[in-house]
Structure 1
Amino acid sequence: MSGVNLKGASEQLAFESISRPALHFIDGGFVESAEGGWFDTLNPTTNEVLTQVAEGTASDVDRAVEAAYRAFHEGPWGRMSAKERAKYLVRIADAIERHGEELARLEVADTGLPISQARGQAARAAENFRFFAEMATRMTGETFPVGDQFLNYAIRLPVGVAGLITPWNTPLMLATWKIAPCLAAGNTAVLKPAEWSPLTATKLAEIVQEVDLPPGVFNVVHGFGEVAGDALVKHPKVPLISFTGETNTGRIIMKNGADGLKRFSMELGGKSPVVVFADADLDRALDAVIFGVYSLNGERCTAGSRLLIQHSIREEFEERLTERVRRIRLGHPLDPTTEVGPLIHSEHKKRVEHYLEFGRREGATMAVGGEVPKELARGNFVRPTLFVNVRNDMRIAQEEIFGPVLVSIPFATEEEAIQLANGVQYGLAAYIWTRDLERAHRVARRIESGMAWINSQNVRDLRTPFGGMKQSGVGREGGHYSFEFYTEWKTVHVALEQHPIPRFGVSDVDAKS
């Protein structure tokens, strides 16, 4: 079968056994759950049990938060210089690189990401720590001189304990994207990884232990969002909550943390458009459209999952797109030639398959898709899918599917393309393909998205703000923008001379003397 990699049974693609359970990491050591609970984590390629995971409850969260609170208020971390903290972050980056292949293979076992892409995620995880190590030493304040009378200045200070709740799609990279700026700014952290992908978080804790990070600075509590995640959000000693995940979950988290007046950073869902105008470089646009939605198994928040294609080139572009999508290599994620692997979990596979049925019922045409080969039936595989003849009001065009599914919607004019692009609740990313740079900048400005790429796929610049508009999130991550969340401003006013001070409570005689 064209585009399908059936080598999954070969010995060279076997997963290594994971002999140890995934434990919590609290106050510098690995511990079991206080209440003794466990749950299984599954291999999405085979749906076999990989290992057991400690099931955290409010008791475990409280232990971790107390350790982080002590490390911040009594330990050296919050009072260290940025340069000293940066040295630890660089050591972590070095260790991630040393363990890079192990981390990549754990990520594959845990999530089903193709190994070639998982290796890239491991490299990016190390890059995140190096980047924020440097950013920490560049963190500056502001001065406000007032003639010769005053010198006022504002400085950034760490806030305290941060609760970091991460998703399952690229768990290693996205965890480091939060941990690195959090620690760089001088905070301590409690990480609650997604229950479907706990393994690389556990390995990251081993790396933190290896580099002798002070106890309590970084902690991991495994468990389910409704229990462990909820306890972390509501904990009175956790002023910061950073969450990446689904929009409805983000709403619940913000409601549950509102009584504590917590500060939130929310990177939520997306339904990002790729707008291809007739004058675009169609070869490059085609490559970018395919990569943008089918890489990472389609499980990416910035996926260009809606193709908006100009009428005059629609037929040609969709024909070429159909042929290419048919040839995408679906297969075992440890095979380096695999381009799309299994989805994270059988529950998520069912969810994606429901959307495929919605598309058929609503009248869209499935140009590519269908059943997976029997050899892949044990895993959570979904064949890369392309829908054409799609209207923007269909569920497959409006709702985040989070799988290898692309919908193609035609447009006639620039104005219609903008209306279609903005006609969803989300506003995370947008991609625009045209040789007319005036139009490119004009459209990029008018599309309601936190980020836009012109004539490019999603190429990240870590210095820039990352985040979305509308229902795609609150706040921004990346560069110095991360420190807007992870630090508190303090203003200090310094008198440089004896300025007049009004005198209350003195007699007229005293006041004249």
Structure 2
Amino acid sequence: MTIPGAQTTAATARHIPDGVPSSLQHYIGGEFVDSVGGATFDVLDPVSNTTYATAAAGQREDVDRAVAAAREAFTNGPWPRMKPRERARVLNRIADAVEAQEARLAELETFDTGLPITQAKGQALRAAENFRFFADLIVAQFDDAMKVPGSQINYVNRKPIGVAGLITPWNTPFMLESWKLAPALATGNTVVLKPAEFTPLSASLWAQIFKDAGLPDGVFNLVNGLGEEAGDALVKHPDVPLISFTGETTTGQTIFRNAAAHLKGLSMELGGKSPCIVFADADLDAAIDSALFGVFSLNGERCTAGSRILVERPVYEEFCQKYAARARTIVVGDPHDPKTEVGALVHPEHYAKVASYVEIGKTEGRLLAGGGRPEHLPEGNYIAPTVFADVSPDARIFQEEIFGPVVAITPFDTDAEALELANNTRYGLAAYVWTSDLTRAHTFSQDVEAGMVWLNSHNVRDLRTPFGGVKASGLGHEGGYRSIDFYTDQQAVHITLGAVHTPQFGRIDDSAANEG
């Protein structure tokens, strides 16, 4: 279905940034290499859905090679043994390099993912900030020391764990890779990164950035490939003691099962179907701004998208009318055009999934905006911002993660009903609450089943706070000191002061011996 009247940019010829490589290799032990067996896969750009590169497809033997390089760098290399300040200097040089090529990174990210260029630009700066943050944190890091007067001193010694397996998603890939790379490297670990197969382009840039910054060879390793091949081999590898994964919930369940054999440490940020709850006393215009941004920015391909909007009955129709009118004027078009607000979805497979949910939604709700492909964009993975109202809580578009520019709006009458609706999914990643009642805001946030809550705010990330979900949305949290906890072993060291007073099992005193 095409959508007449949608605000658009003009359809343009396919834009290919200068210097895009026609082939992408692995990076192992400080060298770019092909797969041992020569396997490759095609990489498409989402505007034309044509192949722009072939990438080395990692198999078990490639993962074995990468893990061996990382293990060697961890066991015998300098990185884990550097003082925090020395590692921090390298991290800051990495941040400088990322900032210096912000425009280039954004252009490549837009080309590879379909994200609007204005939104991709911010991702490079956020990636740089992640490295600066953890450079500061490891220098400021301190651990507990406890004194038992006259008896003992006890302290905590943190040690890097080993080879960290990092598996990252295709939405804002470069920035999300930095969320894992920065703390893993800051704490002295070595890494094997397996980026998403849909978007391997920007991940290939890390190798030169790290080398120029002075990161020793073998500390960072990159293996491209499919999740069921390279990702699976990384999760199952006995020399990879911890896995950090961001992605879809069913994949997370598979990783959980496969990691059990080696009792690996796991941190998993998974799917979401986050509620945005708007009470009648809210600043309605501010809530609409936030609710639009929360589901339609990044093409709707964001785990924390507020894709279920729950609105109190007295303002429900007004909200729906204003929200849909704004959604119909969102600019859809070429991701490289600065006027574009929603670009192309990442891949034809994902486009087909989102389009199928749009069709399902037409049987489950009242269509207020969108509903298909914009008429001026006959090619590429474009879907107009789509709004359904009057959606039942048992509807598939209410319950299931769509991960695209599609939103379901549902009314409620009481605070209790709002809470029941908010918690009525298997997911629990984020929640957004709009109300002028301070008591209600704090009470609701305590009771909502979500790992993160924003009150009268859109999704603003504070790197010091935990990031993660509950229920089917994740396992564990990263961010700030939680990341330091995940990427290090905490060893308790106990020192006795003065004479040692230990019960002397098996000792026979002299008098007893003489009597014998």
The TM-score with structure 1 as length reference comes to 0.97
Paired amino acid for 2:352: K
Confirm or deny that 1:498 pairs with 2:499: yes
Q: 1:243 aligns with which of 245, 254, 262?
A: 245
Which residue number in structure 2 is paired with residue 359 of structure 1? 361
Secondary structure of the residue that 1:438 maps to in structure 2?
helix
Counterparts in 2 of 1:17 and 1:215: CA distance versus 1, 3 Å? closer
Paired amino acid for 1:400: E
Which residue number in structure 2 is paired with residue 47 of structure 1? 49
The one-character-per-residue Cα deviations of 1:335-372 (angstroms, maximum 9, x if unpaired) are: 0010000101001011011111211223x111111342
Question: How far does residue 483 in structure 1 lie from its aligned partner after superposition?
Answer: 1.2
Alpha-carbon separation, structure 2, partners of 1:264 and 1:327: 42
Alpha-carbon separation, structure 2, partners of 1:101 and 1:499: 64
Q: 1:177 aligns with which of 156, 176, 179?
A: 179
The one-character-per-residue Cα deviations of 1:416-440 (angstroms, maximum 9, x if unpaired) are: 0000000000000000001111111
Structure 2, unmatched stretches of 5+, are: none
Secondary structure of the residue that 1:379 maps to in structure 2?
coil
The one-character-per-residue Cα deviations of 1:88-143 (angstroms, maximum 9, x if unpaired) are: 11111000011111111111111000000000011101111111111111222111
The one-character-per-residue Cα deviations of 1:243-299 (angstroms, maximum 9, x if unpaired) are: 000000000001011000001001000000000000000110010000000000000
Which residue number in structure 2 is paired with residue 485 of structure 1? 486
**Is the contact made by 2:74 and 2:162 (CA closer than 8 Å) also made in structure 1?**
yes
Question: How far does residue 20 in structure 1 lie from its aligned partner after superposition?
Answer: 4.0
Secondary structure of the residue that 2:42 maps to in structure 1?
strand
Q: 1:7 aligns with which of 6, 10, 17?
A: 10
Q: 2:223 aligns with which of 198, 221, 224?
A: 221
Alpha-carbon separation, structure 1, partners of 2:267 and 2:338: 35
**Is the contact made by 1:107 and 1:118 (CA closer than 8 Å) also made in structure 2?**
yes
Question: How far does residue 501 in structure 1 lie from its aligned partner after superposition?
Answer: 2.2
Secondary structure of the residue that 1:169 maps to in structure 2?
coil
Which residue number in structure 1 is paired with residue 91 of structure 2? 89
**Is the contact made by 1:285 and 1:433 (CA closer than 8 Å) also made in structure 2?**
yes
Counterparts in 2 of 1:358 and 1:136: CA distance versus 1, 3 Å? same
Alpha-carbon separation, structure 2, partners of 1:326 and 1:172: 30
Alpha-carbon separation, structure 2, partners of 1:95 and 1:50: 26
Which residue number in structure 1 is paired with residue 380 of structure 2? 379
The one-character-per-residue Cα deviations of 1:153-210 (angstroms, maximum 9, x if unpaired) are: 1121110000000000110011000000001111110000000000110012221122
Alpha-carbon separation, structure 1, partners of 2:468 and 2:130: 16
Higher deviation after alignment, 484-493 or 16-25: 16-25
Question: How far does residue 512 in structure 1 lie from its aligned partner after superposition?
Answer: 9.1
Counterparts in 2 of 1:216 and 1:149: CA distance versus 1, 3 Å? same
Q: Where do residues 314-353 of structure 1 align in structure 2 (5 Å cutoff)?
A: 314-353=316-355
Alpha-carbon separation, structure 1, partners of 2:508 and 2:435: 78
Alpha-carbon separation, structure 2, partners of 1:24 and 1:477: 27
**Is the contact made by 2:7 and 2:328 (CA closer than 8 Å) also made in structure 1?**
no
Confirm or deny that 1:200 pairs with 2:202: yes
Alpha-carbon separation, structure 2, partners of 1:351 and 1:79: 47
Q: 1:79 aligns with which of 56, 78, 81?
A: 81
Question: How far does residue 58 in structure 1 lie from its aligned partner after superposition?
Answer: 0.6
Alpha-carbon separation, structure 1, partners of 2:139 and 2:16: 44
**Is the contact made by 1:140 and 1:155 (CA closer than 8 Å) also made in structure 2?**
no
Alpha-carbon separation, structure 2, partners of 1:488 and 1:373: 52
Paired amino acid for 1:182: A
Cα RMSD, aligned residues only: 1.5
Secondary structure of the residue that 2:225 maps to in structure 1?
coil
Which residue number in structure 1 is paired with residue 438 of structure 2? 437
Which residue number in structure 2 is paired with residue 471 of structure 1? 472
Which residue number in structure 2 is paired with residue 19 of structure 1? 21
Question: How far does residue 496 in structure 1 lie from its aligned partner after superposition?
Answer: 1.2
Alpha-carbon separation, structure 2, partners of 1:300 and 1:50: 25
**Is the contact made by 2:67 and 2:239 (CA closer than 8 Å) also made in structure 1?**
yes
Confirm or deny that 1:127 pairs with 2:144: no
Alpha-carbon separation, structure 1, partners of 2:513 and 2:298: 79
Paired amino acid for 1:167: P
Alpha-carbon separation, structure 1, partners of 2:392 and 2:374: 30
Secondary structure of the residue that 1:190 maps to in structure 2?
strand
Alpha-carbon separation, structure 2, partners of 1:98 and 1:254: 38
Q: Where do residues 108-187 of structure 1 align in structure 2 (5 Å cutoff)?
A: 108-187=110-189
Counterparts in 2 of 1:455 and 1:512: CA distance versus 1, 3 Å? farther
Structure 1, unmatched stretches of 5+, are: none
Which residue number in structure 2 is paired with residue 398 of structure 1? 399
Alpha-carbon separation, structure 2, partners of 1:352 and 1:365: 18
The one-character-per-residue Cα deviations of 1:387-424 (angstroms, maximum 9, x if unpaired) are: 01101110000000000001000000111000000000
Question: How far does residue 508 in structure 1 lie from its aligned partner after superposition?
Answer: 2.5
Counterparts in 2 of 1:55 and 1:511: CA distance versus 1, 3 Å? farther
Alpha-carbon separation, structure 2, partners of 1:231 and 1:373: 41
Alpha-carbon separation, structure 1, partners of 2:509 and 2:464: 61
Question: How far does residue 381 in structure 1 lie from its aligned partner after superposition?
Answer: 0.6
Matched residues, number: 511
Question: How far does residue 149 in structure 1 lie from its aligned partner after superposition?
Answer: 1.2
Alpha-carbon separation, structure 2, partners of 1:421 and 1:503: 61
Paired amino acid for 2:350: H
Q: Where do residues 247-258 of structure 1 align in structure 2 (5 Å cutoff)?
A: 247-258=249-260
Paired amino acid for 2:428: G
Which residue number in structure 2 is paired with residue 64 of structure 1? 66
Secondary structure of the residue that 1:274 maps to in structure 2?
strand
Question: How far does residue 17 in structure 1 lie from its aligned partner after superposition?
Answer: 5.6
Secondary structure of the residue that 1:275 maps to in structure 2?
strand
Which residue number in structure 2 is paired with residue 417 of structure 1? 418
Counterparts in 2 of 1:510 and 1:71: CA distance versus 1, 3 Å? farther
Which residue number in structure 1 is paired with residue 261 of structure 2? 259
Question: How far does residue 378 in structure 1 lie from its aligned partner after superposition?
Answer: 1.7
Secondary structure of the residue that 2:65 maps to in structure 1?
helix
Paired amino acid for 1:319: Q
Secondary structure of the residue that 2:218 maps to in structure 1?
coil
